[in-house]
């Protein structure tokens, strides 16, 4: 009998050249190793270190808020971010948009067989960084592996828990005629950043995704003006879709001033090139705030004092309207409707 089994020896995960295979999802040793060496090591907190199926959390003060988001973005890596930090920011923001302070996150991964472990590590480390910077730990999670061809590399679902104080009541149906409509910064960055790396639409630009955790920004607003009516982050479908949603939920109309809406020069240029309207392009680090007219200045000051809200702008007013139309005074002087997005906005030649 030759050779002895070295006690306690486990062949380390080959992150450099290894790929996800079905054993990583089967519940056996390979999966345990993947979880331990990749996820737990990166996310590193007391709950994960306990190694239980679920995280036992302390009692939380205030009303509970829960939000969940699935992330299927393609490409996985783009200027300014990746699917990892996007998934952390996205759910933190959903919780924050109800005026709540996000406290804990969970993360589940669906991995495609053959996905490079190196890429997975990059994504996981990005998530860990985002969670650490936001001070919101990822306390529990799950991993599954699907056969090659049945997934787009990796899908991530994050769920967040938070608390909202009783003095705050932020909801989509609270907009009232006379309210001010404020946006926290220039729109369209994320969508353009994604398009710039999509094949067949290649153009070079320095635009990076604006993906960011907005709970600090929200806290600043809520502290200075606790009576704000609505908060929402204009992700898919862009600012136009978000405003139509709020208008619809609240049973009001809106009038915007095009020249007041901040758009970066390069974003405007990229949209011109492709025939897109920046109003419908996705954002991942911006918010819309609807508040009473008398609170507008306070909100703007609070936003502009925060690094993520320096270019905040007042872009319109809520009005009475049975049709719940969102209208816009164009830079040109005429008025047009800003309708719901129909289908997906595709680059056009006409």
Partner 1 sequence: MKYIDEFRDGKLARGLAQAIRAEVKPGRWYNFMEFCGGHTHAISRYGVEGLLPENVRMIHGPGCPVCVLPIGRVDSAIELALERGVTLCTYGDVMRVPASGPLTLMKAKARGADVRMVYSTLDALRIAQGEPQREVVFFAIGFETTTPPTAVAIKQAQALGLTNFSVFCNHVLTPAAISNILESPEVRKIGTVPLDGFVGPAHVSTVIGSQPYEFFAEEYEKPVVIAGFEPLDVMQAILMLVRQVNEGRAEVENEFTRAVTPEGNEKAKAVVAEVFELRRSFEWRGLGEVPYSALRIKETFRNFDAEARFGIGYRSVADAKGCECGAILRGVKRPEDCKLFGTVCTPEDPIGSCMVSSEGACAAHYTYGRFRGGAARRTG
Partner 2 sequence: MCLAIPVQVVELLPGDQALVDAGGVRKEVSLALVEGVGVGDYVILHVGYALHKLDEQEAKRTLELFAQIGEAAPSTAGSEALRATNG
Site residues, partner 2 (CB under 8 A): 202-206, 255, 257, 259-260, 265-266, 268-270, 272-273, 275, 296-297, 300, 313-316, 329, 333, 348-350
Nearer to partner 1, 170 or 281 (CB): 281
Among 272, 294, 297, 320, binds partner 1 (CB under 8 A): 272
- Residue 342 near partner 1 by CB under 8 A: yes
Residue 247 near residue 320, CB atoms below 8 Å: no
Q: Let me know: does 171 contact 98? Beta carbons within 8 Å.
A: yes
| Distance in Å, CB of 206 to partner 2, minimum | 7
> Any contact of residue 1 with partner 1 (CB under 8 A)?
no
Residue 16 or 265 having the CB closest to partner 1: 265
Closest CA to 76 of 90, 87, 61: 87
Give whole-number Cα distances, 234 to 17, 65, 110, 113, 223, in Å.
38, 20, 26, 33, 22
Residue placing its CB nearer to partner 2 in the complex, 167 or 335: 335
Neighbours of 189 (CB within 10 A): 27
What residues contact 38, with CB distance under 8 A and at least 6 apart?
13, 15, 117, 120, 121, 124
Query: 219, 282 in Cβ contact below 8 A?
Result: no
CB of 350 to partner 2, least distance (A): 5
Q: With b meaning 16 or more CB within 10 Å and e meaning fewer, what string describes 82-115?
A: bbbbbbbbbbbbbbbbbbbbbbbbbbbbbbbbeb
Q: Rule CB under 8 A: which of 167-206 touch partner 1? A: 200-201
> Could you tell which of partner 1, partner 2, none binds residue 314, using a CB distance below 5 to 8 A set by kind?
partner 2
Find the binder of partner 1 among 13, 169, 171, 268 (CB under 8 A): 268
- Asked whether the beta carbons of 243 and 168 are under 8 A apart, the reply is no
CA 78 to chain centre: 14
Beta bridge partners of 101: 163
Number of chain positions touching partner 1 (CB under 8 A) = 28
**Among 1, 265, 307, 322, interactor with partner 1 by CB under 8 A:** 265
- Contact partner at residue 343 from partner 2, partner 1, none, CB < 5 to 8 Å by partner kind: partner 1
Residue 226: what are its φ and ψ, rounded to 5°?
Answer: -65, -15
Is the torsion defined by CA of 183, 184, 188, 194 positive or negative? negative
322 binds partner 1 per the rule CB under 8 A? no
330 contributes a contact to partner 1 by CB under 8 A: yes
The alpha carbons of the chain give a radius of gyration, in whole angstroms, of 22
Q: Which helix (H) or strand (E) holds 67?
A: strand 63-71
In the bound state with partner 2, the residue whose beta carbon lies nearer, of 10 and 201, is: 201
Which of partner 2, partner 1, none sits in contact with 346, Cβ below 5 to 8 A by type?
A: partner 1
Q: Does residue 150 interact with partner 1 by CB under 8 A?
A: no
Q: Which of residues 34-93 bind partner 1 (CB under 8 A)?
A: none
Judged by CB under 8 A, which stretch of 123-131, 143-151, 312-320, 323-331 contacts partner 1? Answer: 323-331
315 binds, among partner 1, partner 2, none (CB under 5 to 8 A by kind): partner 2
Q: Are 170 and 299 in contact (CB under 8 A)?
A: no
Work out what residue 4 binds among partner 1, partner 2, none; the CB cut-off runs from 5 to 8 Å by kind. none
> Could you list the residues that contact partner 1 (CB under 8 A)?
200-201, 259, 265, 268-269, 272, 274-275, 323, 325, 327, 330-337, 339, 342-343, 346-350
């Amino acid at each position: 009998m030759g050779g002895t089994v070295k006690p306690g020896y486990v062949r380390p995960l080959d992150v450099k050249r290894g790929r996800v295979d079905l054993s990583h999802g089967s519940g056996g040793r390979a999966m345990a190793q993947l979880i331990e060496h990749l996820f737990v090591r990166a996310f590193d907190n007391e709950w994960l270190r306990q190694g239980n199926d679920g995280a036992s959390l302390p009692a939380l003060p205030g009303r509970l808020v829960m939000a969940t988001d699935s992330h299927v973005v393609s490409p996985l890596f783009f200027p300014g971010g990746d699917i990892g930090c996007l998934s952390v920011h996205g759910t933190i923001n959903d919780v924050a948009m109800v005026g709540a302070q996000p406290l804990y996150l969970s993360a589940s991964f669906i991995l495609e067989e053959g996905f490079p472990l190196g890429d997975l590590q990059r994504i996981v480390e990005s998530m860990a960084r985002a969670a650490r910077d936001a001070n919101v730990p990822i306390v529990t999670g799950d991993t599954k592996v699907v056969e090659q061809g049945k997934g787009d590399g990796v899908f991530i679902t994050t769920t967040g828990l938070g608390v909202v104080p009783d003095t705050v009541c932020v909801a989509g149906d609270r907009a009232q005629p006379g309210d001010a409509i404020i946006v926290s910064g220039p729109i369209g960055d994320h969508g353009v950043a994604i398009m710039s790396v999509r094949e067949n639409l290649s153009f070079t630009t320095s635009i990076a995704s604006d993906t960011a955790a907005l709970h600090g920004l929200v806290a600043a607003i809520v502290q200075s003006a606790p009576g704000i009516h609505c908060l929402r982050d204009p992700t898919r479908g862009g600012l136009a879709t978000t405003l139509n949603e709020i208008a619809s939920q609240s049973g009001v109309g809106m009038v915007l001033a095009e020249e007041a809406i901040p758009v970066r020069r390069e974003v405007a240029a990229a949209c011109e090139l492709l025939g897109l309207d920046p109003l419908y392009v996705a954002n991942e680090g911006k918010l819309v705030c609807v508040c009473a007219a008398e609170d507008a200045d306070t909100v703007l000051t609070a936003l502009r004092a925060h690094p993520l809200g320096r270019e905040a702008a007042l872009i319109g007013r809520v009005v009475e309207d049975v049709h719940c139309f969102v209208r816009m005074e164009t830079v040109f002087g005429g008025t047009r409707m800003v309708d719901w997005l129909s289908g997906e906005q595709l680059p056009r030649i006409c």
